[in-house]
Amino acid sequence: MIDFLNHFLLFTLAGIGMLLVPLAIGRLVRPRLPSPEKDAIYECGEPTIGSSYVQFDLRFYVVALLFIIFDVEVAFFFPWAMVYGNAMQLADGNLGDEARRTLTNRLLTAPGEVGQEITADAAHWLGVTGLIDILVFFGVLLVGFAYVWKRGDLDWVRAVANAPTSADRS
């Protein structure tokens, strides 16, 4: 228990040191030459015009969030492709014993006894199961994408033909 506390204390002190040492060095080394021009608001190199409290169109954020969501979900295809590819290689009945053992050890997360191998039939069913899994996953993605598209969240400029005018409101 004491050993655990010593490690925890050492880890905590190292983490605090990694934060404070660069800040202290920066404070000692950087020049201190304040001026009104340096204290002015800086916004992309352009002089500010108007109030800084401008309300941005929320569609920008919606499109950005949807991109991130679908981009991250597509990243889940890569691990599946590795497992599916190895399973399909193992499904080959003409595969040699050494190659089968190597692929089996690469495919299994916790290899069992030495000499345990995945048979061609088991690899075929693993591949079919993986294909069905990814088709279900891709189907859920497509349903979500269709919903977002139908709802109009992907339209950057929405139609205003049916929007009420100021004359209709009075």
Whether 67 is in a domain gets the answer yes
pLDDT at position 19 is 96
Token readout for 76 is: 């889940």
The residues facing 43 across adjacent strands are 46
Q: pLDDT grade, residue 52 (50/70/90)?
A: low
DSSP calls for 32-88: ----HHHHS--BTTBPP-S-S-PPPPHHHHHHHHHHHHHHHHHTTHHHHHHHHHHHH
Whether 140 is in a domain gets the answer yes
Q: Each residue of 19-38: pLDDT tens digit?
A: 999 999 999 999 888 888 87
Whether 167 is in a domain gets the answer no
Q: pLDDT grade, residue 9 (50/70/90)?
A: very high
d(CA 79, CA 163): 47
Whether 47 is in a domain gets the answer no
Whether 3 is in a domain gets the answer no
**pLDDT reading at 124 higher than 90:** no
Range of the domain at 144: 58-156
Average pLDDT over residues 51-69: 77
Q: pLDDT grade, residue 15 (50/70/90)?
A: very high
Cβ neighbours for 93, distance < 8 A, ≥ 6 positions apart? 120
Average pLDDT over residues 129-148: 89
Total of domains in the chain: 1
Whether 2 is in a domain gets the answer no
Whether 107 is in a domain gets the answer yes
